[in-house]
Structure 1
């Protein structure tokens, strides 16, 4: 695949290198290897990045993958179809965002391999630090004990998690509330009541996804917006309740204290339909 001139490989590699133990993702130089389940079979997705170019390879312990499916997966992970140029063109002269756009040209949001991975990660990370969330995620992967023949662990899919129970998830570090929510989401996804992959492939409107997820116990606005951003590449979730977004906005505006969620929501509103992409720029700043 051809990469745009402003592609930022360091962002992508850093996102997938969050777990220093590299249980399910290995980052070596400009290469990432990620363990996933491909139609239920352990697989290793390898992405090699070089200036202007990305090469993707999927090794499956099972039937050979269709190359026509691998390319869209790689493009999705890399964020190649995100509207970064449109945001820059519309707001390059904005007094606060304009300088940030100039400092971070071409910033894209690295994606999870599947919407379920994004949603389950968002549930894991609710109201805890990134380090704690990474640790619990690792323990979840180790609990399900799925490995590709290369030795790389695979992030579990919905069907795998649906077979677990709350005590097992509690042992992995989840609170009782999060364990119940994760199991409910996994079971609904596995039996088709929560058609996450269908929503992705049919480009279901964010409002429809938001309305459905909001009906589930333990799923709030932040979890939904984060899932829309990382799992569906939907760039208009507000993320105004995110603590890091508020702190970075405080620095950008030069305020003494972080803005309230309501004030952050009002500031982000001017950048619709790219509010989540702006929030990601605040994270990166």
Structure 2
């Protein structure tokens, strides 16, 4: 029996400083939402996540300390016995660029690009929001590793419970079939997921409509017609919204959620979110359920922080991992 080819391995690392009010538990809760831990692993101060890095299986590890986080990315390269010569020699310039990109990704994922100080100062004395802010000071929204992951998660979770969505996501990751040498399964990128068929996703438990939407999305990204990653820095919100809404199966809630979890945009109106409406109903002491329109009107004055308000409403309800 021929032994499996050894893998080259690249390790990137950096340190990210944390503000005094950083809430590591929120990040750990988001990435630990799947108790099966097939693609993410969390403990009291660390999370590990399987992901794709430039088309290769990788494992991201972030360890939290009092005022900083250690960030490591372990990338499985091609088998040594078949690797091109130029991949065998380290490239200092390339490693520096990749390390810088790793740091940018970690900063986004930890919510450190979100300007929450002005929000908290502005609404600390607000009769309804003030108590929420006091109960969750420093609340930031943890992000996914990529906009595609956020969008795939939003599509997966349309009109089903969080528990069912987590199970579907797990099956999709396993169906994609990418596993890092650490043992963690890797969340697929669009190129990898596009190798699956609609029938594969249906077998994993997706409805026909969701399977078709995911396939359309993957092909648009693979054909460079939907440049999600290129939008991260520029954040052309109107363009993102217009192009996503043009895809069959993607509606306003999916877009606003993706803008929040994938891009860190804090002004999306998540009035279509059932948990947001339920939490707001409790906050206002209403006996009847609030409609989407009522919730939209209540959130409107809090622009440009409407999605951050929604995150506080999630936190008040005890929703973790949404």
Same fold (TM > 0.5): yes
The answer as to 2:247 corresponding to 1:216 is yes
Tell me the distance in 1 between the aligned counterparts of 2:135 and 2:32.
23
Partner of 1:73 in structure 2? 105
Partner of 1:158 in structure 2? 190
Partner of 1:122 in structure 2? 154
Q: 1:115–1:231: 8 Å Cα contact kept in structure 2?
A: yes
Partner of 1:86 in structure 2? 118
The answer as to 2:39 corresponding to 1:8 is no
Q: Write out aligned runs for 1:226-241 (5 A).
A: 226-241=257-272
Tell me the distance in 1 between the aligned counterparts of 2:244 and 2:209.
16
Correspondence for 1:179 among 203, 211, 229 = 211
Partner of 2:180 in structure 1? 148
Deviation digits for residues 29-85 of structure 1 (CA, Å, limit 9, x no counterpart): 210000000000000000000111111000101267521111101101100110211
Q: Write out aligned runs for 1:1-285 (5 A).
A: 1-62=16-77, 65=95, 66-201=98-233, 203-285=234-316
Q: How many residues align?
A: 284
Where 1:80 maps in the other structure, the secondary structure is coil
Q: TM-score, normalised by structure 1?
A: 0.98
Shift of 1:90: 1.6
Shift of 1:145: 1.3
Tell me the distance in 1 between the aligned counterparts of 2:175 and 2:42.
22
Where 1:182 maps in the other structure, the secondary structure is helix
Where 1:270 maps in the other structure, the secondary structure is helix
Structure 1 stretches of 4+ moved >4 Å: none
> Unpaired segments of 5 or more residues in structure 2?
1-15, 78-86, 317-322
CA-atom RMSD in angstroms: 1.0
Shift of 1:259: 1.2
Tell me the distance in 1 between the aligned counterparts of 2:121 and 2:308.
14
Rg (Cα) greater in structure: 2
Tell me the distance in 2 between the aligned counterparts of 1:87 and 1:264.
19
Tell me the distance in 2 between the aligned counterparts of 1:190 and 1:246.
36
Please, which moves more after superposition, 62-71 or 219-228? 62-71
> Unpaired segments of 5 or more residues in structure 1?
none
Tell me the distance in 1 between the aligned counterparts of 2:156 and 2:217.
12
Shift of 1:258: 2.3
